[in-house]
């Protein structure tokens, strides 16, 4: 039994927006795998909840009229992994969210919840950053879209305007981002299942036609800072460069210019830096291989 003050169940997106405006103090609950846990711990005890879990209109993956991949915010991790569109165009996202917790968590956990938490360790977050996802929010003023890097404000806080009754309704991957692009994600954790990332690294590349040169490399981390982040110095090192093992080494070292992991009981800064370099190298190597490059 949860220590919950009240529960409001939204019947549609519009209704969710209305409920949010009516109950600005209430917490939105999607799958609940984070919110209910916090409520049990006492952190959110005694709060009102607005459940949007029943909004099936926010489930599913499609390609929209502009050829964006559109992921409904309530799509569960397991459905993302199994989705043919994801498998075809951005398989790494399916692989990344297939490392969240365990199977039951992947059945309840949603990509919207994973991002709205604003936590740096979210397994979807680094890949969404590396693929320059767009976050779609719906509020009383209609739809607002913003790049995912702007969505994250600081640890645990994202740009959702409660005063406008906003909820996150979709995540989009633009065609320019996913076309001819191949990526790899490494989750570094202390266990092979049921764990949160000590560090997450997602890299993707688009190669030249002859597969000899990196046209575009993108890399993002979770847990390398208070929010998920790109590593622009490393990207600059790789962009436009011919593929070589030496390039991979330089790419790895360059991430140190960008990342800022902290010392905590979960891991030391020195350790996180060490594995960040190694993970960048391994992710780039694997991304190049997936894109058909030779090493």
Q: Is residue 46 a contact residue for other proteins (CB under 8 A)?
A: yes
Which CB, 159 or 195, lies closer to other proteins?
A: 195
The CB-of-196 to other proteins minimum distance in angstroms stands at 7
Stretch 275-294: interaction string toward other proteins, x if CB under 8 A? x-xx----------------
Scanning residues 91 to 110, which ones bind other proteins (CB under 8 A)?
101-105, 107-108
Q: Is residue 263 a contact residue for other proteins (CB under 8 A)?
A: no
* Selected binder of other proteins within 16, 32, 69, 261 (CB under 8 A): 32
Q: Is residue 155 a contact residue for other proteins (CB under 8 A)?
A: no
Which CB, 92 or 201, lies closer to other proteins?
A: 201
* Selected binder of other proteins within 146, 194, 245, 295 (CB under 8 A): 194
* Selected binder of other proteins within 12, 141, 260, 268 (CB under 8 A): 268
Computed on alpha carbons and rounded to an integer, the radius of gyration of the chain in Å comes to: 19
| Cα–Cα distance, 144 to 73 (Å, whole number) | 14
- Please give the full DSSP string across the chain, using - where no structure is assigned: ---EEEEEE-SSHHHHHHHHHH-TTPEEESS-TTHHHHHHHTTTTTEEEEE-TT-GGG--EEE-TTS-EEEETT-BHHHHHH-HHHHHH-HHHHHHHTTSS-HHHHHH-BHHHHHHT--TT-HHHHHHHHTT-EEEEEETTEEEEEEHHHHEEETTEE---GGGT-EEEEEEE-HHHHTT-EEEEEEE-SSSSS---SEEEEEEEEE-TTSSBEEEEEEEEESSSSS-EE-HHHHHHHTTPBP-HHHHHHHHHHGGGT-----BTTB-HHHHHHHHHHHHHHHHHHHHHHTT---
The CB-of-67 to other proteins minimum distance in angstroms stands at 30
The CB-of-142 to other proteins minimum distance in angstroms stands at 29
Q: Is residue 84 a contact residue for other proteins (CB under 8 A)?
A: no
Q: Is residue 6 a contact residue for other proteins (CB under 8 A)?
A: yes
Stretch that binds other proteins, among 18-26, 146-154, 200-208, 271-279 (CB under 8 A): 271-279
Q: Is residue 273 a contact residue for other proteins (CB under 8 A)?
A: yes
Stretch that binds other proteins, among 16-24, 35-43, 144-152, 201-209 (CB under 8 A): 35-43
Q: Is residue 87 a contact residue for other proteins (CB under 8 A)?
A: no
254 in Cβ contact with 173 (< 8 Å):
no
Scanning residues 57 to 76, which ones bind other proteins (CB under 8 A)?
none
* Residue in 128, 263, 138 with CA at minimum distance from that of residue 185: 128
The CB-of-164 to other proteins minimum distance in angstroms stands at 26
| Cα–Cα distance, 280 to 10 (Å, whole number) | 42
The residues that touch other proteins, with contacts defined as CB under 8 A, are: 1-4, 6-7, 9, 29, 32-33, 36-37, 40-42, 45-46, 51, 53-54, 78, 101-105, 107-108, 188, 190-196, 198, 253, 256, 265-268, 270-271, 273-275, 277-278
């Amino acid at each position: 039994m949860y220590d919950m003050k009240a529960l409001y169940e939204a019947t549609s997106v519009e209704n969710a927006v209305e409920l949010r405006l009516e109950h600005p103090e209430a917490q939105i609950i999607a799958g609940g795998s984070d919110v209910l846990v916090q409520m049990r711990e006492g952190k959110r005890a005694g709060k009102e909840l607005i459940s949007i879990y029943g909004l099936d209109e926010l489930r599913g993956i499609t390609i929209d009229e502009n050829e964006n991949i559109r992921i409904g915010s309530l799509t569960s991790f397991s459905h993302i992994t199994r989705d043919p569109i994801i498998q075809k165009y951005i398989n790494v996202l399916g692989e990344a969210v297939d490392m969240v917790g365990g199977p039951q968590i992947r059945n309840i956990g949603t990509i919207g919840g994973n991002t709205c938490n604003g936590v740096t360790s979210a397994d979807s977050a680094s890949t969404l950053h590396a693929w320059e996802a767009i976050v779609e929010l719906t509020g009383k003023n209609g739809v607002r879209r913003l790049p995912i890097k702007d969505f994250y404000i600081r640890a645990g806080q994202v740009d959702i305007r409660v005063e406008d009754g906003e909820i996150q309704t979709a995540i989009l991957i633009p065609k320019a981002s996913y076309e001819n692009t191949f990526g790899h994600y490494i989750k570094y954790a202390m266990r092979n299942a049921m764990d949160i990332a000590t560090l997450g690294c997602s890299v993707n590349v688009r190669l030249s036609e002859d597969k000899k040169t990196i046209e575009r490399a993108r890399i993002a981390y979770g847990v390398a800072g208070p929010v998920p982040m790109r590593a622009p110095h490393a990207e600059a090192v790789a962009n436009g460069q011919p593929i070589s093992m030496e390039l991979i080494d330089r790419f790895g070292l360059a991430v140190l210019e960008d990342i800022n992991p902290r010392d905590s009981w979960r891991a030391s800064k020195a350790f996180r830096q060490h594995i960040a370099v190694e993970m960048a190298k391994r992710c780039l190597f694997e991304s190049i291989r997936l894109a058909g490059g030779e090493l």
